[in-house]
Structure 1
Amino acid sequence: MKNTRKEEVVWLYELGERNFRRQNLKGKCFRGEDLSGCDFSGCDIRGADFTNAILTGVNFTNVTAGLQKRQAMTLLAVLIVAAIVLGVVAGIIGAFAEVRFVAVDETDEAAFAWITPIVIMGFTFVSLTRNMAVGFGIFALAFVIATVGALISSAAVPFAGSVAAAIAVNSLVAGATAAVSSLMVAAVLAFRITIALVVAGGFIGSFALALVYTEATVPTSSIASAIAVAAIVLPLAGYVGWRTLKGDRKHTITWTIANFLATKWGTSFRGADLTDADFSRAVLKSTDFSDAILTNTKWDRNVWNGNSLN
């Protein structure tokens, strides 16, 4: 496959040439160029930039788009390192998430200590059935009620503190869930499910190491609390990731982060005019079609999987 320079393509196009079949156009920038009617069938356009280009009637059949090898390795490294960092942070904070407050007797103390896991389970249920924003709204209301109760009666102070701590832990749960699920979705979009499992494994492994590190300095009950948090984060992250891949736009934060990561270094058709363009039998992983004009554009089935369409 001939490695063709961008200037050569533009120059030949201006001379009337339209046949650029099976050319190597990896990483080439055609931003804003008018290449209407070109035949790019069979070309390697990984990492190419067609942002705001005019590509009406262009033949993109059998092209290979997406990430170049070095870009793919960079993205993979970013995903794995981010998963490890998240695992360590979640493990350390989770280990110190045990809630114990001064109470009248041991019975009251045990009751207050149970508030956090109960509220976390409520947050999980709301997030699964609705979305995280609704969950935070409920907890914000609970915090206001608890605070008002604490102002009225000193006996409500431990309860208000427990709810406040529960909200803090839920913030960790929500943040970790969105972040981990975003990393896994980005791995699926840019690579495949096996890479997503590697990313999840990096999170779990680093989380476990963080627990081992903190075990000597925190109570055993705190370790149990951290494990409980992880047991909630991971299934919820998997569920949110699965729903995101299914096109559930309730989890817009996850979708936005994942798409940004998966398409940042891939092929860009952002804002391009692709009227009557043909992408039949094209490989379009990690390809950005945001704000593109797609009137009468031809696609194979499931072509949208792994691409940004916002």
Structure 2
Amino acid sequence: MKAKEVLRRYAAGKRDFRGVNIRGQSFQGKNLSGTDFSEADIRGTNFKNANLTGTKFCKAKAGLQKRWVIVLLLVSWVISGLSGFASLLGGMAIALIFDSSERQQVFGWIVLVVIIVSIAVILGQGIERTVAVVGTVAVVGTVAGAVAVAIVGPESFAGAVAIAGTGAIAIAGTGAIAIAGVVAGTGAVAGTGAVAFAVAGAGAIAGAVAIAGAGAGAVAGAGAVPGAVVFVLLSIYLGWRTLKGDPRDAWIRSIAIAFAATRGTSFRKANLTDADFTGAILKSTDLREAIITCTCWRKTIKLDRVRPGTSYLQYENIRQLLITGEGQDKNFERLNLRGINLKGANLQDASFSGTDLNRANLQNANLSRAKLVQTLTA
């Protein structure tokens, strides 16, 4: 149904639009308060700045339209492919360890040590911490590249680039995996990894032929394969870790979610006071700056894949509380939960010390032995 028709019927007094297909329509700035959009298809629908007070979206399907899912998957595959191709350089450089030239062997060992250290930091502290280290190494790597080409040979330039680009390769690969996972799930992650492997494999063969033809050493070309495999596997692992919500890579996850939500359902700056999203699918939905006072999120699906802005939805433990209604013996201290809807929630023995609960709906909530020291309520 077109937006114009929905608005015409709304103006005529109709409020029941259950099961309607308004995919990709725009209601920006419109008043649709009190409307029932339960089980409606609202993928890609624009509700920016709309008044949706008391509106029902129970079991509605929000997120990306299929064509944008395909587009974003293709983008992630391109990024993954570029990452896979770039990872060949590391493998080619490391393979210099087995070269007949002593100088090339030394350079190969240097590249191997730097890459191992970088990977260790990435796995232990996350990519963000690694960027600072790799940033310094990148400068050294650039200078080393110029010197290496002049002294050791053209194939050593791959090592310099690999040193300088270790972090970038990991970020690109991880980002591609994360985007695929956010947009289309586990199957897409496997597909994105397969693309990286395919590109890396094809590049390795081409690289081996080119390098051998140039007389730079067939060993370096052959070494591209295991090197590429290591980098691709690292990217897949980091992408999986990011999707699981590991705090070390939270920023990549946030970027992937933001990227996936660019063409998804938008409630940005909309008034969702008393709105009901019970059982709704909310993947790739923009909720930045939306008014979500007393909004119901019970049993929602993919609430962790929304773009929450600075609202209470940014907290993982709060999202779980809103979905399940179970908060017994949990710690919710010193959070801004202004306007949250905890109606009927089990909050027995929970701690809200120092938490802002102004305008929160605690009707029928079990607050037995809950800690409310210095809690703001009104």
Structure 2 match to 1:113: 108
Aligned CA-pair RMSD: 3.5
Greater length-normalized contact order (CA 8 Å, ≥ 6 residues apart): 1
The 3 A distance-change label for structure 1 pair 119 and 166 is farther
Deviations 1:173-211 (A, max 9, x none): 322222222222222222120121011101101110011
1:87 is aligned, of 66, 73, 84, to 84
The 3 A distance-change label for structure 1 pair 121 and 207 is same
Displacement of 1:8: 2.3
Structure 2 match to 1:76: 73
Structure 1 match to 2:123: 128
1:58 is aligned, of 55, 59, 67, to 55
The correspondence of residues 20-59 of structure 1 with structure 2, limited to 5 A, is 20-59=17-56
1:202 matched to 2:201? The reply is no
1:271 matched to 2:269? The reply is yes
Structure 2 CA distance, aligned partners of 1:98 and 1:177? 17
The 3 A distance-change label for structure 1 pair 133 and 229 is farther
1:227 matched to 2:225? The reply is yes
The 3 A distance-change label for structure 1 pair 293 and 249 is farther
1:187 is aligned, of 180, 188, 195, to 180
The 3 A distance-change label for structure 1 pair 113 and 76 is closer
Gaps of 5+ in 1: 148-157, 159-163
Structure 1 match to 2:308: 309
Displacement of 1:25: 0.5
2:292 is aligned, of 280, 283, 294, to 294
Displacement of 1:64: 1.4
Structure 2 CA distance, aligned partners of 1:123 and 1:39? 53
Structure 1 CA distance, aligned partners of 2:139 and 2:44? 50
Q: Which has the higher helix share?
A: 1
Structure 2 CA distance, aligned partners of 1:8 and 1:226? 59
Secondary structure, in 3 states, of the residue corresponding to 1:114? helix
Q: TM-score normalized by structure 2? A: 0.67
- 1:60 is matched by which residue type in structure 2? F
Structure 2 CA distance, aligned partners of 1:42 and 1:49? 17
CA contact (8 A) 1:249 1:255 kept: no
Displacement of 1:255: 2.2
The 3 A distance-change label for structure 1 pair 255 and 117 is same
Secondary structure, in 3 states, of the residue corresponding to 2:279? coil
Displacement of 1:298: 1.7
Identical positions, percent:
32
Secondary structure, in 3 states, of the residue corresponding to 1:282? coil
The 3 A distance-change label for structure 1 pair 175 and 144 is closer
CA contact (8 A) 2:282 2:301 kept: no
Gaps of 5+ in 2: 143-150, 152-156, 212-216, 310-378
Structure 1 CA distance, aligned partners of 2:38 and 2:259? 27
1:137 matched to 2:170? The reply is no
Structure 2 match to 1:251: 249
Displacement of 1:63: 0.8
- 1:118 is matched by which residue type in structure 2? V
Structure 1 CA distance, aligned partners of 2:9 and 2:79? 44
Structure 2 match to 1:213: 206
Structure 2 CA distance, aligned partners of 1:166 and 1:212? 18
Aligned residues: 293
CA contact (8 A) 1:189 1:307 kept: no
Displacement of 1:265: 2.2
Q: TM-score normalized by structure 1? A: 0.80
The 3 A distance-change label for structure 1 pair 140 and 308 is closer
Displacement of 1:140: 5.0
Displacement of 1:44: 1.0
Structure 1 CA distance, aligned partners of 2:103 and 2:69? 54
1:285 matched to 2:280? The reply is no
